Structure 1
Amino acid sequence: MMTFDQILPTVQKALAPHKTLIARIQPVIVNRDLNGRVRLIVSDDVERDADTLAGCRSIAKELAEQLGAHAFPEEQMILFEDDMTTVLADAPGFALEGFEGVIVVDRLASEGRWASIAPISTGVPRVVFFSIKGGVGRSTAMAASAWSLAQSGKRVLVLDLDLESPGLSSGLLPAERRPTYGITDWLVEDLVDNGAAVFEDMMATSELAHDGEIYVVPAHGNDPGNYIAKLGRVWMPKINEQGKQEGWSQRLSRLLDQLEQRWQPDIILVDSRSGIDEVASSCVTDLGAGLVLMFAIDGEQTWSGYRILFEYWLKAGVVRDIRERLQLVGALIPETGAAEYFSSLKERSWDLFSDALYDEVPPGATIDELWNFDDSDEGAPHYPWPINWHRGFAALTSLHSRLEKIDPQQVESIYGSLIDGLNDFAGER
């Protein structure tokens, strides 16, 4: 029985005898629609050559027979397009392994674009705090990092993009200081070109900062209002002034650019939603972050989730565009057995990175010639920046009052590696 995971191997087998034809008519697009059904898209020049058309019809017939429910009927298996460039620009695509000039394009119900990596922003350094699963202390670590960076004199812009589970602002702002609006309000108002009405009132400064500043842009304002109704609209695309559709992720990127220009921070910290959904995709791949912190605990759910993501990047051919931005963070290192726990975390991390992201080292080559790291290299992206578990920092809701009284040395003992890494990153830009 044919299933979704068997589609591409079946397509590869069907196309293998026709490589000469494919080389002549490339690009050939293998289009998977929203329901997972496949058809081919080729240039309309193919229709004007009888022999070439016959060859394509033969491929279409075989695919229709082999793919079963995952194929369009044979007579509908080929689409002819006059502008292949436009087709390729409409959706994320990746090269079909073993075939030059064959691109797989996925039409997705969501706007998650894990295979499309935006260039690193040329402006203020941007850092995304991401985790494959929740409950790893990511938001708390971000709040503590913002506090420490501001203590050293930096102007820190903090965005809570965990829109479906907001709460970061409560760690940095007491209720009476929270702004009137938040990111969700702007995304909804922007749909009707009314974003300017809330823009100036969606940021508040935290009084926790001393030598620097902490600018907090929450998911919602001090009165969430009809938050669920608004949340159901933030993902909507809009038609921009040029008459082109602008996806929600593009709108979010535009907002971040405006916030950067308005508040002139030294560093931007973005709290991403956990998991592999479209919000996380936007944060990790679309906002131009130069550093993506991947929080991990030593558990099978963590490693299997990151492996799915890494192998997707590998298959999509974008590993080289993203891998140098990644850094693993070892979250919640336990007080008891810390050394053994960290050793296991490091080993599992190195296994994952070396399998999916690092270059293979062929016989006779040296690591210096390739993007590869020794398992014990403390400067490697797989080498975890440890965060020690601490009872007083276990609950984000108590963080604001705790940071008012905390000894900086205690923050250093818990988050020192993370804060040092952030300072180094900000200093490089």
Structure 2
Amino acid sequence: MSTPANRFDTAWQAALTHAAQLAAEHNRDVVLTRDLLGRASLLIDDREAPLPADAPGLAEAATAFSEATHPFTGLDPLQTASELFAPELFFDVPELVEVTAPHEGSGRVSTLERTVVGGDWATVTGTESEPPQTRQTRRIALYGFKGGVGRSTATTVLARSLAERGLCVLVVDLDLESPGVSNLLAEPGATPAYGVVDHLVESAVGNAEDLELVARASLDSPKLGNGDIWLAPAAGTTRPGYDYLAKLNRIYTDLPAAVLGGAPTPFAARLEQAIAACEAQVEEKARRPDVVLLDSRAGIHDIAAVTLTRLCDQALLFAVDNPSTWEGYRMLFEQWRRQPAQARLLRDRIRIVAAMFHSAGDIDRLSILRRNAYDIFMKTLYNLPGDEDEEPFLPTKGDVDDKPYAPIPILFGNDLVGLDPLRSRKWPELPFVRAAYREFVDTVETLVQDMYKEQS
């Protein structure tokens, strides 16, 4: 019987072992990369003192690595930085995850995932490797692991409520593959000429200046007072020659330093620049936004990863109490748990939202959802290495409303089933809508106030 081939996981473990051996044998930093197909390659940082192609041991190391990781071996199993066109995209990016620190006689080993999805879940703004943004505007992300939980509708209701309190609100539609919130906030043809996708495409070639990215929302809002709602859509106004799909296919790229003559620009930084440009335009047209609502794409996707880990100050995670939802969040939280400092930062900026919550006939249902959320948090984001105190057992009674796992309910009833927000722009004023979202908007408004207190 032939020896079974490696599977994805065993090949990666073998690759990690060989990376550590290479770092020790040459006393150089080593980056272990994994491409879209899961194929691994070794990169040696020899930028200070280039290694010749025939350096002792390199060919043997490449052969041994290939044999140990087959069939998940990269097309170029071992390369040096001096051979790469843009080595900074591998050795000087925040996505690097350190596996072993450098020590006497050995360089450090880091990993770098070159994937369509997942890479940005591991890098969090606010850590030593990714300093926090110094911005005056507070950003709130609305995210659901699964779609169809009413996230965009909740974003619209929240924007209106905050504006009624006199705040200037910017809503950014980051559900680029399935834009939705724009239709709830703007009449057809009332969106700006360009959208977030346009900024990502044009900025890649240094051509983003003077793009019209925001417009005042046309949602009927007679009670806004001094408040404002602005919209930054995913796409610009539909018109002949405007090819949204062609642009969408070209946005998820990191830019090497050679493209614009500066430092390498990862996708996360490009998305940050797009949002900052939208904020600047609102300030130019009216005033600085008090709150920015980021309507994120659902699921495991780079847009969601960047939004939650880098772009927001508070993340509202929409959850329906079923096994698939909790298993999805468990997978995401496990990614964060691998780096305790980042996990601690993230758990303090997230809140669970009980989406489409059916409260009728079961007064214990919210307690059950809270317990399920608590269990996921305990298994992943609490009691981490380095935590000074253990998180206490979930009390059966008492105030835990300020905890990340304490669900904020959005009630759901039969009246909401037939609601068509596109038929009437006054739908947020309907009594049953206000009743369904009352606790949600009140809680988020308190979170906004707390964020500005912390800032001052």
User: If the length of structure 2 is used for normalisation, what is the TM-score?
Assistant: 0.77
Structure 2 counterpart SS, 1:310 = helix
Q: For the Cα contact (< 8 Å) 1:95–1:104, is it kept in 2?
A: yes
**Match for residue 330 of structure 1 among 340, 354, 357:** 354
Q: Which residue of 2 aligns with 1:305?
A: 328
The structural deviation recorded for 1:216 is 1.7
Q: Distance in 2 between matches of 1:184 and 1:41?
A: 33
- The number of residue pairs the alignment matches comes to 414
CA spacing shift, 1:237–1:33, aligned 2, 3 Å: closer
The structural deviation recorded for 1:162 is 0.9
Q: Which residue of 1 aligns with 2:114?
A: 107
Q: Which residue of 2 aligns with 1:315?
A: 338
CA spacing shift, 1:112–1:27, aligned 2, 3 Å: closer
Structure 2 counterpart SS, 1:198 = coil
Q: For the Cα contact (< 8 Å) 2:116–2:302, is it kept in 1?
A: no
Q: For the Cα contact (< 8 Å) 2:354–2:410, is it kept in 1?
A: yes
Q: For the Cα contact (< 8 Å) 1:202–1:221, is it kept in 2?
A: no
Superimposed CA distance per residue, residues 341-385 of structure 1 (whole angstroms, 9 cap, x where no aligned partner): 3222212211111111112599xxxx9x33735424222101111
Q: Distance in 2 between matches of 1:171 and 1:271?
A: 12
The structural deviation recorded for 1:226 is 3.3
**Match for residue 279 of structure 2 among 257, 260, 276:** 260
Q: Distance in 1 between matches of 2:89 and 2:200?
A: 27
Q: Which residue of 1 aligns with 2:228?
A: 213
Q: Distance in 2 between matches of 1:236 and 1:105?
A: 15
What amino acid is aligned across from residue 66 of structure 2 in structure 1? A
Q: Which residue of 1 aligns with 2:411?
A: 388
Q: For the Cα contact (< 8 Å) 1:240–1:246, is it kept in 2?
A: no
Structure 1 counterpart SS, 2:238 = coil
CA spacing shift, 1:87–1:151, aligned 2, 3 Å: same
Q: Distance in 2 between matches of 1:305 and 1:14?
A: 32
Q: Distance in 2 between matches of 1:383 and 1:399?
A: 34
What amino acid is aligned across from residue 358 of structure 1 in structure 2? Y
Superimposed CA distance per residue, residues 133-158 of structure 1 (whole angstroms, 9 cap, x where no aligned partner): 10111111111111111111111111
Query: Unaligned stretches of 5+ in structure 2?
Result: 127-131, 283-287
Q: Which residue of 1 aligns with 2:442?
A: 420
Q: Which residue of 1 aligns with 2:303?
A: 279
Q: Which residue of 1 aligns with 2:179?
A: 166
The structural deviation recorded for 1:126 is 0.2
Q: Which residue of 2 aligns with 1:89?
A: 92
What amino acid is aligned across from residue 5 of structure 1 in structure 2? D
Q: Distance in 2 between matches of 1:259 and 1:326?
A: 24
What amino acid is aligned across from residue 421 of structure 1 in structure 2? T
1:339-378, aligned counterparts within 5 Å?
A: 339-360=363-384, 369-370=388-389, 372=391, 374-376=393-395, 377-378=400-401
How many percent of aligned residue pairs carry the same amino acid? 28
Which stretch shifts more, 147-156 or 338-347? 338-347
Structure 1 counterpart SS, 2:110 = strand
CA spacing shift, 1:201–1:405, aligned 2, 3 Å: closer
Q: Distance in 2 between matches of 1:172 and 1:400?
A: 11
Structure 2 counterpart SS, 1:292 = strand
Structure 1 counterpart SS, 2:71 = helix
**Match for residue 247 of structure 2 among 213, 224, 230:** 230
Q: Which residue of 1 aligns with 2:285?
A: none
Q: For the Cα contact (< 8 Å) 2:62–2:77, is it kept in 1?
A: yes
Q: Distance in 2 between matches of 1:130 and 1:32?
A: 27
Q: Distance in 2 between matches of 1:15 and 1:248?
A: 27
In the alignment, does 2:140 pair up with 1:140? no
What amino acid is aligned across from residue 126 of structure 1 in structure 2? R
Q: Distance in 1 between matches of 2:56 and 2:394?
A: 53
In the alignment, does 2:293 pair up with 1:269? yes
Q: Distance in 2 between matches of 1:413 and 1:388?
A: 8
CA spacing shift, 1:5–1:311, aligned 2, 3 Å: same
CA spacing shift, 1:200–1:223, aligned 2, 3 Å: same
CA spacing shift, 1:316–1:351, aligned 2, 3 Å: same
Q: Which residue of 2 aligns with 1:6?
A: 10
Q: Which residue of 2 aligns with 1:293?
A: 316
What amino acid is aligned across from residue 10 of structure 1 in structure 2? A
Q: For the Cα contact (< 8 Å) 2:96–2:112, is it kept in 1?
A: yes
What amino acid is aligned across from residue 121 of structure 2 in structure 1? W
Structure 2 counterpart SS, 1:262 = helix
1:113-132, aligned counterparts within 5 Å?
A: 113-119=120-126, 120-121=132-133, 122-132=135-145
Q: Distance in 2 between matches of 1:98 and 1:347?
A: 38
Superimposed CA distance per residue, residues 84-141 of structure 1 (whole angstroms, 9 cap, x where no aligned partner): 8763324723233899832222222469522222345432110010011101111111
What amino acid is aligned across from residue 7 of structure 1 in structure 2? A
Which stretch shifts more, 270-279 or 319-328? 319-328
CA spacing shift, 1:389–1:247, aligned 2, 3 Å: same
The structural deviation recorded for 1:200 is 5.9
Q: For the Cα contact (< 8 Å) 2:193–2:212, is it kept in 1?
A: no
Q: For the Cα contact (< 8 Å) 1:136–1:297, is it kept in 2?
A: yes
What amino acid is aligned across from residue 112 of structure 2 in structure 1? V
In the alignment, does 2:397 pair up with 1:379? no
What amino acid is aligned across from residue 210 of structure 1 in structure 2? L
Superimposed CA distance per residue, residues 234-264 of structure 1 (whole angstroms, 9 cap, x where no aligned partner): 4455676544453444333112212223321
